[in-house]
């Protein structure tokens, strides 16, 4: 039997990259998958797509109602949606301030990456508690564990996600809902593949297994955590990074 037969899964940001790979893998393992994506994009026929803004509570609540009306339950939530707006905290030249991270860029990343996870989880958790079963899986990052140059906002959100994961594991675990996070390293998404070849080579060289990760590598981690095989895993942060230790 497939690992997710009879399960209903929500994947945010599932139109491309890691989210799309996760949605496709879950569907191949028997799950009924719904993608919540800002553009409503679905990665394949047979996978439902809904245009959803994960930062707006009313929009997420409506998406939950639609999923319940269509499928009667929600078993898995993968909080994958995220954005990056990189800049240094302050940039100085000859002692003079020449640049800094803007308030707008800080707020945008926090809104999607952190508040979005909070909003979606808060909307779906009551459904799972009533069912007595559920899996909430959050997209963290190795930078949330080790920091990274020029990513104050992004790192803050990923570290915050790790903290929320551990809180919710304590709060929801007794109600049959496990909460875990996955912390990817350098993953070969469309955005990464657009980088210069020299940069890609340097990223691979910094990774002990000497390659970039693939979206399927992260999807496989989500599949494990979503399955019954991980029923005793709760509050964990699973690094999928080829042994990478972030440096500056």
197 is a domain residue: no
For tokens 């339950």, what's the residue? 73
In the predicted model, what is the mean pLDDT of residues 83-89?
Answer: 95
CA distances from 176 to 60, 123, 136, 192, 198 (A): 22, 16, 11, 37, 47
Classify residue 66: in a domain, yes or no. Answer: yes
The answer to the question of residue 201 being in a domain is no
What is the model's pTM?
Answer: 0.95
Q: Is residue 175 part of a domain?
A: yes
Structural domain harbouring 125: 8-185+214-238
Q: What angle do CA 43, 216, 33 make, to 5 degrees?
A: 40
Calpha distance 218→80 (Å, rounded): 11
Task: Name the pLDDT band for 58 (thresholds 50, 70, 90).
Answer: very high
Q: Decide if 71 is catalytic.
A: no
212 to each of 6, 73, 244, 247, how far by Cα in Å? 33, 36, 10, 16
Q: How far is CA 91 from CA 31, 104, 138, 247, in A?
A: 47, 17, 32, 19
The DSSP string of 106-144 is HHHHIIIIIIHHHHHHHHHHHHHHHHT-EEEEEE--HHH
**Farthest-apart Cα atoms in the chain, separation:** 65
- Say if 100 falls within a structural domain: yes
Q: Judge whether 95 lies within some domain.
A: yes
Is the pLDDT assigned to residue 167 strictly greater than 50? yes
Q: From the candidates 71, 146, 154, 224, which is the catalytic residue? A: 154
CATH number at residue 47: 3.40.50.720
Domain count across the chain: 1
Of residues 185 and 196, more confidence is placed in: 185
């Amino acid at each position: 039997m497939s690992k997710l037969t009879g399960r209903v899964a929500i994947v945010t940001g599932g139109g491309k990259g890691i989210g799309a790979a996760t949605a496709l893998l879950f569907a191949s393992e028997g799950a009924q998958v719904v993608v919540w994506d800002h553009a409503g994009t679905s990665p394949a026929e047979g996978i439902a797509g809904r245009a959803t803004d994960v930062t707006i509570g009313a929009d997420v609540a409506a998406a939950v109602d639609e999923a319940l009306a269509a499928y009667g339950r929600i078993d898995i939530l993968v909080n994958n949606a995220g954005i990056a707006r990189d800049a240094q905290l302050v940039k100085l030249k000859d002692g003079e301030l020449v640049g800094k991270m803007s308030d707008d860029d800080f707020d945008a990343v926090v809104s999607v990456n952190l508040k979005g996870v909070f909003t979606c989880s808060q909307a779906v958790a009551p459904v799972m508690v009533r069912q007595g079963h559920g899996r909430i899986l959050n997209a963290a990052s190795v930078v949330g564990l080790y920091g990274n140059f020029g990513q104050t906002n992004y790192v803050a959100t990923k570290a915050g996600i790790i903290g929320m994961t551990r809180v919710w594991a304590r709060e929801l675990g007794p109600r049959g809902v496990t909460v875990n996070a996955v912390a990817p390293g350098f993953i070969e998404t469309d955005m990464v593949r657009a980088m210069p070849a020299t940069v890609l080579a340097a990223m691979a060289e910094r990774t002990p297994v000497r390659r970039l990760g693939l979206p399927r590598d992260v999807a496989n981690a989500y599949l494990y955590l979503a399955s019954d095989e991980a029923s005793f895993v709760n509050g964990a942060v699973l690094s999928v990074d080829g042994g990478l230790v972030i440096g500056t």
